[in-house]
Amino acid sequence: MRRCVGSNVAGKREKSRLQPSLRSFTLRATAEAQATSGGAAETSGRVRSAALVGSKPGSPDWIKRTAARAMLRAVRFKDEDFLKPLVTVSCPYTNATPCNDHMDELARVIAERIEKRGGKPLLHGTPVVSDGETMGTPGMRYSLVSRDLIADCIECQHEAYMADGLITLGGCDKTIPGAIMPLLRNDSIGVFLYGGSILPGGPERNLDVISAFEAIGARSANRITDEQLFEIEKSACPGAGACAGAFTANTMATIAVALGLAVPYSAGHVASTYEGKVTENKKQDCRDTVDALFTCLERGITARQIATRKAFENAIVVAMALGGSTNAVLHVLALAHEAQVPLSIDEFHEIGSQVPLLGQFRPFSKYVMADLDRIGGVPVLMKHLLVNGFLHGDCLTCTGKTLEENLADIPDQLPAGQDVILPLDKPYAPPGRHILVLKGNLAPEGAVIKLSGKGLRRHQGPARVFDSESAAIDAILAGRIHKGDVLVIRYEGPAGAPGCPEMLSPSAALVGQGLGSDVALVTDGRFSGGSHGIMIGHVCPEAYVGGPIALLEEGDEIVIDIDALTINVAGLSSTEWERRKANWKPVLKPAHGLLAKYRMLVQPASRGAITTQAE
């Protein structure tokens, strides 16, 4: 086995970032010098909040901050609270989606633990957009937009109140990268906590929300009845928690652990029981997260000291071994940008393509995250990768220990009698058979495909071109898409939609109609982690900016060659390309308010669809 698969990409070994940054050291030293002698709760971790409430009674800045303290007393602050470290708790609660329906309860457990540890919590909310509920509607345009909006909201709250520590929560998939980005953007002292996944539904405990999406296509093809469709609707989602399989939420929660920004077992613990109560494991994750934060406060450990280049390599390796979502490419690139760690889509591909696929998870196989938790959770997978040389064990984590130290008590061998995670010598699929980056005259800057072990080597067929997801859905459900076609959905990219909506509805409809293995779907939009089939997304440049996908015409022959890692339009001369380009007129979808602002700022999917510039 090759030792640490990312080492050839990273080049020279980076200098250790385990020592506190000058900024962290200065802030901490200043706080300690300003603190009074009234005990640990007055001094430990006050790295910034003296600027808000004052250093100590009688000092000049204490007098200046009288008005701020007066207002805080109205929200139940007492004398002693002004000498405690302030901790922002970013809670994306809503009762509009099961993914985040329990977040308020988690926030209460966290707040209680903060108080017990001698801190003072400052709670706030963020927007939450459910992909599953808005899928296929104009509201879905706000999904990816919400990632960056959530990050901005957390940054605004935490920086405005100059809190000392930061705990961010995430559930529905965009809330996870949205909650991690501000930790890295401002090099905060902070920890992330995943709300947990949902349990499988149905009488046989084998259903999830993807089952409902695929049932729509099955019903349109008369493969199931109205009664069967209704039973799936009623039982697919049995309680709180994010989608159960290796979809985007669980992929990003796993990445948070692999990066070291979340406590080790938090990605695997489910959110709630079948009786509707938050699990004890998840409550313990809350307490462990607070304890990790106080370790970071005491030692001055900031997010960028944890999320190094080697940590990002670990994250990519673990996500690929798990069998994660294509959205991992988009979000990991965005996280690396915020951490100021150089990482390109080509480097993501080079690292990821060296990793075998070990997990057997939905949507491409049979298991869900609760099954991984049953055998020991994400740390079991990480220990198997570590002992076989796929991970950097010396990376610092939010526990104050290295990754290797966190995994020290886990057996080197995978648990016997299970096939949730397969061994490296007998993987579900060999390296280079999960998420890959394709390029060619249709996607000069790249496109992303998720094979998940499928034997596909080549697909060639006529383009069936649609300028919107809704038009494509209508064609699928009307039976106008046939075996061998290449379904092209364009003007759905970051700037074009705007918002780069996911194409789960059409992909699930194809699977439901039995066309998942015979029709390729190519788009400048995204795919849900629940999508499977021949799905190619993130085509760059997108149609909105005049990329080659905008110049396609009905019937053009598209060739997808997996071995060559290419996606091309066959038989078009350079003269024909130029003719089409000269005659091209963009499709401009209306956007106002937040969407218009996003369209002005967003960068291509090949750069993570980020909206901030490099410092």
Q: Concatenated DSSP letters for 570-596?
A: ET--HHHHHHHHHH---------HHHH
Side-chain-facing half-sphere of 509: CA atoms under 13 Å: 22
Cα separation, 574 vs 580, in Å, equals 10
Contacts of 210 (CB under 8 A, 6+ apart): 243, 245, 247, 362, 363, 504, 508, 528, 530
Whether 403 and 393 have beta carbons less than 8 Å apart is answered as yes
Please give the sequence-ordered ranges of beta strands (E in DSSP) within 11-127, or none if there are none. 86-91, 120-125
Helix/strand/coil for 612? coil
**Nearest-5° angle of CA 584, CA 135, CA 246?**
110
Q: What is the DSSP code string of 397-424?
A: -TTSSBHHHHTTTS-SSPPTT--SB--T
Q: Identify which of 24, 37, 38, 68 has the alpha carbon closest to the alpha carbon of residue 50.
A: 68
Cα separation, 365 vs 355, in Å, equals 18
Cα dist from 529 to 246, 452, 503, 507, 584, whole Å: 7, 11, 10, 11, 33
Tokens of 68: 């701020």
Residue 7, classified by CB atoms within 10 Å of its CB into exposed (0-12), middle (13-18) or buried (19+), is: middle
pLDDT at 16: 39
**Alpha helices, H only, 260-357:** 280-299, 303-306, 309-322, 327-339, 345-352
Q: Please, which pLDDT band fits residue 21 given cuts at 50, 70 and 90?
A: very low
Whether 489 and 513 have beta carbons less than 8 Å apart is answered as no
pLDDT at 511: 87
Q: Please, which pLDDT band fits residue 23 given cuts at 50, 70 and 90?
A: very low
**Nearest-5° angle of CA 480, CA 495, CA 91?**
105
Q: Average the pLDDT over 351-367 and give the result.
A: 95
CATH of 434-607 given 3.50.30.80, 3.40.50.300, 3.40.109.10, 3.30.1050.10: 3.50.30.80
Q: What's CA 548's distance to the chain center, in Å?
A: 28
pLDDT at 22: 34
For the entire predicted model, the pTM comes to 0.92
pLDDT at 504: 84
Question: To the nearest whole percent, how much of the chain has pLDDT over 90?
Answer: 85
Cα dist from 400 to 273, 296, 312, whole Å: 31, 7, 18
Output phi, psi for 342, to 5 deg.
-60, 125
pLDDT at 5: 64
**Nearest-5° angle of CA 580, CA 586, CA 588?**
165
CB atoms within 10 A of CB 68: 15
pLDDT at 288: 98
Whether 330 and 604 have beta carbons less than 8 Å apart is answered as no
pLDDT at 10 over 70: no
Q: Identify which of 109, 56, 451 has the alpha carbon closest to the alpha carbon of residue 278.
A: 109
Cα separation, 273 vs 238, in Å, equals 9
pLDDT at 173: 87
pLDDT at 13 over 50: no
| Span between the terminal Cα atoms of the chain, in Å | 38
Helix/strand/coil for 557? strand
pLDDT at 24 over 50: no
Please give the sequence-ordered ranges of beta strands (E in DSSP) within 75-148, or none if there are none. 86-91, 120-125
Side-chain-facing half-sphere of 155: CA atoms under 13 Å: 17
Please write the tens of the pLDDT for every residue from 310-326.
999 999 999 999 999 99
pLDDT at 4: 67
Whether 544 and 141 have beta carbons less than 8 Å apart is answered as no
Contacts of 40 (CB under 8 A, 6+ apart): 118
Please write the tens of the pLDDT for every residue from 420-469.
999 999 999 999 999 999 999 999 999 999 998 888 999 999 999 999 99
Top CATH class of 84-200+238-429 equals: alpha beta
Higher pLDDT, 32 or 164: 164
pLDDT at 44: 57
pLDDT at 532: 78
pLDDT at 15: 40
Task: Lowest mean pLDDT of 167-171, 461-465, 571-575, name the range.
Answer: 571-575
pLDDT at 30 over 60: no
Q: List the beta bridge partners of residue 458.
A: 561
Cα separation, 232 vs 203, in Å, equals 10
pLDDT at 296 over 50: yes
- Catalytic residue positions, numbered: 528
Q: Please, which pLDDT band fits residue 7 given cuts at 50, 70 and 90?
A: low
pLDDT at 33 over 80: no
Q: Average the pLDDT over 191-205 and give the result.
A: 95
Q: Where are the domains of the chain?
A: 84-200+238-429, 434-607
pLDDT at 42: 36
pLDDT at 454: 86
Contacts of 231 (CB under 8 A, 6+ apart): none
**Nearest-5° angle of CA 436, CA 437, CA 438?**
115
Tokens of 45: 């971790």
**Nearest-5° angle of CA 263, CA 269, CA 270?**
145
Q: Average the pLDDT over 79-98 and give the result.
A: 97
pLDDT at 19: 40
Please write the tens of the pLDDT for every residue from 376-423.
999 999 999 999 999 999 999 999 999 999 999 999 999 999 999 999
Q: Average the pLDDT over 168-174 and give the result.
A: 95
Output phi, psi for 604, to 5 deg.
-60, 160
Question: To the nearest whole percent, how much of the chain has pLDDT over 70?
Answer: 93
Q: List the beta bridge partners of residue 447.
A: 438
Cα separation, 274 vs 134, in Å, equals 25
Q: In what order do the strands lie in the sheet with 86-91?
A: 120-125, 86-91, 165-170, 190-194
Cα separation, 342 vs 611, in Å, equals 16
